[in-house]
Structure 1
């Protein structure tokens, strides 16, 4: 096994464990609600702390990666992440829980930016797209974390001990992986806090990432509701839409690198956008179990390549360092992830849930259009014929 392959395995392990930490936290949210006797609105307020912390961490992440290097930030943020995860379980009051969840969100995004910067540096050594496989590992960890969480709940293991076991696992892998992380060299210009307007390249990539994350957020939060109220599926199969979407997205990320290397970023983005549109419209026009599930599978495959390609392209900005460029794209796309689910609910109340999903379908067309207009400016390193 070559050194490059060892580096890829080490970094992939950290991507997987980052996803495992997040999914482990999510799997025990109902237990947290019971422990603190939280109402639905109180739980919603608590959960808001994580995305707020994540959002505030983005400009800091770009600066920190530029200033100290992604290797140091990855190690520090990973250690912080696995310290604050069990602290959630050990919290005995809301006064402790709220700031812990907030910092957990911050350290999670510091880890996200630094690991993706590492992946871009490793991608340079490979000379081809490999970022999608790392995001696939993060998605795969979601299923693993849900399974471990269900097992812990079955054996009535408290969240704090569940979280401690996950943190211990991550610490061991980090100690083994540390020596294989890259001391990447800066490839961009600007490295300060992200306070200035992004250039045309990043705005266009950001637009694609925004639409992709808007659709992704809606699918995460509303798949079950759609299958329950519109598809009217058997109660035992309500999760089918979510599972089919998540499974297709995870699988799609593992194969996206090969497709991108073969056909080019532009064609893959166009195809992904069209696949998202067609999948959602199929589910809206024919809301029966087989066709709706097929539609959700199509959406999962469509969404799979959006963020990996957006990150890979942004990381090669000539005006910004990779860490800052990723922070800019993450900030723009994060707003899509936050706006999407409430937008679905608002339109569903005003019109119908089918109308909401119809609107989300047009995010796919938006992606296809943004990937097609002024491609020479948008992807200067890609041939338009691809």
Structure 2
């Protein structure tokens, strides 16, 4: 019998290596841009491969989680994810790069739906909230990935050796950790998408996640470029590093913050941090001001996805796995629009101007979440009448 804490440890480990893997890819985007000679618009077009691959993976991941226990698609998806990451490093044509990135995004989506389904199942065995800590470990993994990338860049280690080494580590961890994942979590009901008028409960959460995904995706893919081209920083990973560091800190604190202030106020605080932080970086494009601004954006965006996933898991219409799959559709749409939109705006105007999109998304958190909680209160009131 595997203990709850052991399940939690190995799920945390999967979140950690997932963040490590994603940061490995994202921190090397400037390297790829230089190697292929892309301009901002061309890079934005290549980055479309990520959300396209994720969208392809969404219906498949939802079906897999409803058909099997989530640990099976989790492990298989992550093993293939490690292979696709290594493959990116060895591409030499734009076509092969796009194919490898699509595969990387596709397998990432299968893994993410599966691992978040596991966390919602495990959360039911704990009295205190633990979901925020899982996403915190994702951010810690991201920090570790950025630090390793920064070190390897300083030592002129090739992207091929970098990605291959990380891929091998990912496979070894997946093979060993499989035995410690939750079993028997396949839901028997709520596994089919009901084609009807959108459920307001899921819709409002989806829009919030969509806006957050634009911010996160844009920061993941363009923070390094911003520090490289706008701030002229010698080590362009600093912006991504500070963003991820404060995202991690916020996620470990998020369970405490939510318990202290409640989700409605936490969403508002997130909106203020994102809007104020990115505004600082745009208005005062100097290294240290941008570092402060990027840290605020990281702190602000961190709680949005964990809170929204937790709320989605309480849906009365869908199973946790299917609810997360639907919410993830909004997330991937945001990821699809965010990075390319930044690229096209940067090409048409400049990179500083394009980052205004993040401030607008941050402001929009406030009215959308207010509509969600108003709807939630109406549902509770109706249930109490019955």
In structure 1, the gaps of 5 or more residues are none
**CA deviations over 1:103-162 (Å, ceiling 9, x no partner):** 222111100110111111111211332222222222222232233344455666555544
Q: Which has the larger displacement, 49-58 or 350-359? A: 350-359
- 1:332-351 to 2 correspondences below 5 Å: 332-344=330-342
2:28, 2:307 → 1: CA distance?
32
Contact 1:62 1:194 in 2 (8 A): no
2:239, 2:380 → 1: CA distance?
35
**CA deviations over 1:236-295 (Å, ceiling 9, x no partner):** 476554433222112111211221233322221122112222333344455555544333
- 1:1-386 to 2 correspondences below 5 Å: 3-28=3-28, 39-40=38-39, 46-89=46-89, 98-152=98-152, 159-186=159-186, 189-192=189-192, 198-223=198-223, 233=231, 235-236=233-234, 240-287=238-285, 289-344=287-342, 356-373=354-371, 375-378=373-376
2:194, 2:129 → 1: CA distance?
26
Contact 1:194 1:324 in 2 (8 A): no
1:325, 1:373 → 2: CA distance?
19
2:225, 2:201 → 1: CA distance?
37
Change in Cα spacing, 1:20 to 1:221, as seen in structure 2 (3 Å) is: closer
- Report the Cα offset of residue 345 of structure 1: 5.0
**CA deviations over 1:13-70 (Å, ceiling 9, x no partner):** 11111222233344555666788x6655776655433331112101211121111121
Secondary structure of the residue aligned to 2:125 is: helix
Contact 1:128 1:261 in 2 (8 A): no
Secondary structure of the residue aligned to 1:316 is: coil
How many positions carry a matched residue from both structures? 379
1:140, 1:238 → 2: CA distance?
19
Contact 1:62 1:193 in 2 (8 A): no
Change in Cα spacing, 1:379 to 1:144, as seen in structure 2 (3 Å) is: farther
Change in Cα spacing, 1:197 to 1:144, as seen in structure 2 (3 Å) is: farther
**CA deviations over 1:182-222 (Å, ceiling 9, x no partner):** 12545684313686654111100011111111222333344
Secondary structure of the residue aligned to 1:126 is: coil
Secondary structure of the residue aligned to 1:329 is: helix
1:23, 1:283 → 2: CA distance?
21
Contact 1:65 1:323 in 2 (8 A): yes
Secondary structure of the residue aligned to 1:373 is: helix
Change in Cα spacing, 1:336 to 1:271, as seen in structure 2 (3 Å) is: same
1:154, 1:90 → 2: CA distance?
20
1:85, 1:92 → 2: CA distance?
14
Contact 1:71 1:183 in 2 (8 A): yes
Contact 2:135 2:306 in 1 (8 A): yes
Change in Cα spacing, 1:21 to 1:95, as seen in structure 2 (3 Å) is: same
Change in Cα spacing, 1:379 to 1:6, as seen in structure 2 (3 Å) is: farther
- Report the Cα offset of residue 91 of structure 1: 5.7
Q: Which has the larger displacement, 129-138 or 300-309? A: 129-138
1:345, 1:92 → 2: CA distance?
22
Change in Cα spacing, 1:226 to 1:168, as seen in structure 2 (3 Å) is: closer
